[in-house]
Amino acid sequence: MRTLLLILIIAFAACNPAIEKEVAEPIGAGFFLPEEGEKFVVASDSVTDVWMRYIEAHNNKDINAIMAMNSDSITIHGPDGAVIEGKENHEMALNAWFPAENPNWKVYWAMPYKGVTGGAEWIVAGHEVTLTQEGQKNVQLHMIDAEIENGKVRQFYVYSKDIPKPAKEDME
């Protein structure tokens, strides 16, 4: 009887969800060559929220809001290889670009991620960007990889792909 009771107690304890089990730290996935051994896990949607507000400020052409969301040492790597460093240079570029091409972004996917060992928080997001050039609308796809630090945009990389225009016979 004691043996049966002991077996039942052990079986019950093994199935009891209240017994805490050691939880392993996330090991992450991927790699980043400049930081040997770095892996990544999904970050908080607070990173996504920062990015969505940043894009909204761009769509509203609200340069003051954009500057408030930039870190002082923001760096932007454009799709053509151009690099913009610092808030002042970013503001000058936007003051020229907004009236020239009236860009408008539509975010269609986003994934926040975080470095396991380094702790840097990033978001990678896909955007449909409509530009108006010489009265013609041109739609591009942009993938942007942005680092968010203390709720501010520290740096981002823009990768661009033109969407082919429909064949002339398709337009008729």
Is the pLDDT assigned to residue 133 strictly greater than 70?
yes
Domain count, the chain: 1
133's tokens: 């050039």
124 occurs within a structural domain: yes
19 occurs within a structural domain: no
123 occurs within a structural domain: yes
CATH of the domain at 151: 3.10.450.50
33 occurs within a structural domain: no
Find the domain containing 126 and state its range: 40-171
Q: Residues 38, 41, 47, 49: what is their CA dihedral angle, to the nearest 10 degrees?
A: 160
22 phi and psi angles, rounded to 5 deg: -65, 130
Residue 84 β-bridge partners? 76
Where residue 164 falls among pLDDT bands split at 50, 70, 90? Answer: confident
Q: In the predicted model, what is the mean pLDDT of residues 6-12?
A: 46
Write out pLDDT tens, residues 64-90.
999 999 999 999 999 999 999 999 999
Q: Tell me, what's the pLDDT at 21?
A: 53
16 occurs within a structural domain: no
9 occurs within a structural domain: no
Is the pLDDT assigned to residue 19 strictly greater than 90?
no
17 occurs within a structural domain: no
Is the pLDDT assigned to residue 156 strictly greater than 90?
yes
Instruction: Please state, in angstroms and rounded to a whole number, the distance separating the CA atoms of residues 91 and 82.
Output: 15
Residue type (1 letter), 161: K
4 occurs within a structural domain: no
